[in-house]
Chain A
Amino acid sequence: MSCPDRIVDYMHDYLDEEITESNKQELKQHLQACPDCEQHFRELEKAIAFVQSTSHIKAPDGFTAGVMAKLPQEKKRLKMGRWFKRHPLLSAASLFLMLMTGSIFSTWNEDQEFSVSKQPNLVVENGTVTVPEGEVVKGDVVVRNGKLNIEGQVQGDVTVINGEKYLASAGQVTGEIEEVNEVFEWIWYHIKEAASNAASLFEGEEKDQSLQ
Chain B
Amino acid sequence: MDLRFTMEQQKFREEARLWLEAHVPKENLPSFDTAEGFQAHCEWERVLNDGGWAMVPWPVEYGGRGANLIEWLIFEEEYYRAGAPGRVNQNGIFLLGPTIMEYGTDAQKVRFLPKMASSEEVWAQGWSEPNAGSDMAAIQATAVREGDQFRINGQKTWASRGAYADWLFGLFRTDPDSERHKGLTFVLVPLDAPGVKVRPIEQLDGEAGFAEVFLDDALVSVDNQLGEFNRGWDVAMATAGFERGLMLRSPARFQNTARKLVELYRETVASGVAIRPALREAVTQAWTGAEAYALNTYQTVTRLLEGGKIGAEASLGKIFWSELDLKMHETALELLGARAELLPNAPSAQGVGTWLDGYLFSLSGPIYAGTNEIQRNVIAERILRLPRK
- A, B assembled together: no
Interface residue ranges, A against B (CB under 8 Å): none
